[in-house]
Amino acid sequence: MQDVDHRTPPPSPPGVAMDPLSFRDENGEVDSAFLEAVSLAIRTSDKERLQHLVDDFHESDLGDLIEALEPEDRPRLIELLGSAFDFTALTEVDDAVREEILEELETATVAEGVRDLDSDDAVTILESLDDDEKAEVLGQLPAIERVAIQRSLDYPEDSAGRRMQTEFIAVPPFWTVGQTIDFMRETADLPDTFYEIFVIDPAGHLLGAVPLDRLLRSKRPTTIQGIMTDEPDRVEATAHQEEVARLFERYNLVSAAVVDESNRLVGVMMVDDIVDVLEEEADADIKALGGVKSDEELSDNIFYTQRSRFPWLFANMCTALVAANVINLFEESLERMVALAILMPIVASMGGNAGTQTMTVAVRALATRELGRANAWRIIRREAMVGVLNGVAFAIIMGIIAAIWFQTAQIGLVIGLAMMCVLLFAALGGIFVPLTLNRFGVDPAVSSGPFVTSITDIVGFFSFLGIATLWFRL
């Protein structure tokens, strides 16, 4: 499909009065009036009206519309549109929404919908089904398509094999440029998008690749072997999708061959799939830092969301109890000077924020392989110096504020010293915790938060109350 500007509605079909409606409002969201018109057409089974409203929609726009609809209207939209519905739109919605829709659709409808999809899109839809439904849908597909899709499904989740397209162009090395061009002109079922021609031997082993620009610049009698790249960009089918994405990012690739353990060509990774991978991985990292499971989505039900967030909150409660016990050690000091209780949250908050800043940078650097053993100590020294400088700066600022607030220079000096301690230890905790967890094979994005929070709270309370206790005893 082609991208269409849906702000200008298509002309009305003969005999049907259509009011002009914009698909998106000024904020880029699905327009409420348009959404109401679609919902009304679905509930009244007005197929002609519905087809007019969503005519020529890009799959991404159709996916947004599906998510905006009420759950009961989503499968009805697909049923009313029939063969006009592009099942690629289901790859553009949240996993939970896609699973709910597929549960309501007939197996024959799903099989017919995925029949004309690219293999990677078909895999995305089929992996949302349970094993029995998946087998039933596959059983209704042509043998060639069924084998290609099943092969992708057999690879591990989040691997290149799951993401690859099995549609590609491969030719023998003895073909000429002219033969290859004629083959592409005469073959009807070529991939929709491709950037290079792969060269294989009779057993399917990858020998090389020819970029399209080089092919078109070469003379017709030239052999493919004479212009092919002997070391084409390739990835193992079992490689993790994040590693593949890093390869694309590092070498500015637009496509890469996917090979099995015997170097046989089994598919191709495209840059549009890599964009999705990068978005998914970044989304997962951000959620993990906040204590949210990577697969949590806004469309998930309340009880699933509650269960997924409970462990993180429980871990934080445990660390808070440890910090509370530290405070309890200085109960006498708190009773003697109320100012300590007033200022204590400031120290903890500053330490928590500083630790989170360092932790976020460290976790991201570990994920992108920018931080490793070779430069770990340099980065640790850098973060420690940042902690010291910020500690001195905020010690001066907060010391002056506290001294003026409580009319005593002593309390200003105490909180200033505590601020230097907590910001230094927050910086060190923010870098050491992710490095240590990563060293022991634990995902630092998932597990760093509670540890860093615990360190900053305990050090913050202990340093502030401990310094105050010692100072006022002298």
- Residues 6 or more apart whose Cβ sits within 8 Å of residue 222: 176, 177
Task: List the 206-211 sheet strands across, edge first.
Answer: 170-171, 196-200, 206-211
Let me know: does 137 contact 148? Beta carbons within 8 Å: no
Range name among 208-217, 292-301, 305-314, 465-474 with the lowest pLDDT average: 292-301
Do the domains spanning 32-157 and 302-473 agree at the CATH topology level?
Answer: no
Q: What is the pLDDT of residues 80-120, one digit of tens each?
A: 999 899 999 999 898 888 989 999 999 889 999 998 888 88
Q: How confident is the model at residue 367 (pLDDT cuts 50, 70, 90)?
A: confident
Closest CA relative to residue 122, chosen from 132, 133, 113: 113
pLDDT at 14: 41
Let me know: does 12 contact 54? Beta carbons within 8 Å: no
Listed by start position, the domains of the chain span 32-157, 170-289, 302-473
pLDDT at 335: 67
Let me know: does 431 contact 379? Beta carbons within 8 Å: yes
Q: Is 154 exposed, middle or buried (0-12, 13-18, 19+ CB in 10 A)?
A: exposed
How far is Cα of residue 268 from the mean position of the Cα atoms in its chain? 21
> What CA–CA distances, in Å, run from 446 to 278, 285, 359, 415, 430?
18, 8, 11, 32, 14
**Mean pLDDT, all residues of the chain:** 85
User: What CATH code is assigned to 170-289?
Assistant: 3.10.580.10
Let me know: does 117 contact 88? Beta carbons within 8 Å: yes
Mean predicted confidence (pLDDT) in 340-354: 85
> What CA–CA distances, in Å, run from 269 to 195, 230, 237, 253?
11, 19, 10, 10
pLDDT at 11: 42
Task: Quote the CA–CA distance of 423 and 354 in Å, as a whole number.
Answer: 6
pTM of the shown model: 0.68
Task: Quote the CA–CA distance of 68 and 250 in Å, as a whole number.
Answer: 37
Q: What is the dihedral of CA 383, 384, 389, 391, to 10 degrees?
A: 110
Q: How many Cβ atoms are within 10 Å of 378's Cβ, its own excluded?
A: 10
In CATH terms, the superfamily for domain 302-473 is SLC41 divalent cation transporters, integral membrane domain (1.10.357.20)
Closest CA relative to residue 319, chosen from 283, 291, 282: 291
pLDDT at 446 over 90: no
- Residues 6 or more apart whose Cβ sits within 8 Å of residue 282: none
> What CA–CA distances, in Å, run from 467 to 52, 333, 391?
73, 11, 16
Task: Quote the CA–CA distance of 139 and 144 in Å, as a whole number.
Answer: 11
pLDDT at 280: 79
Closest CA relative to residue 92, chosen from 247, 275, 258, 253: 275
The DSSP annotation for 326-368 comes to: HHHTTHHHHHH-HHHHHHHHHHHHHHHHHHHHHHHHHHHHHHT
- Residues 6 or more apart whose Cβ sits within 8 Å of residue 198: 168, 169, 170, 171, 206, 208, 209, 232, 257, 265, 268
User: What CATH code is assigned to 32-157?
Assistant: 1.25.60.10
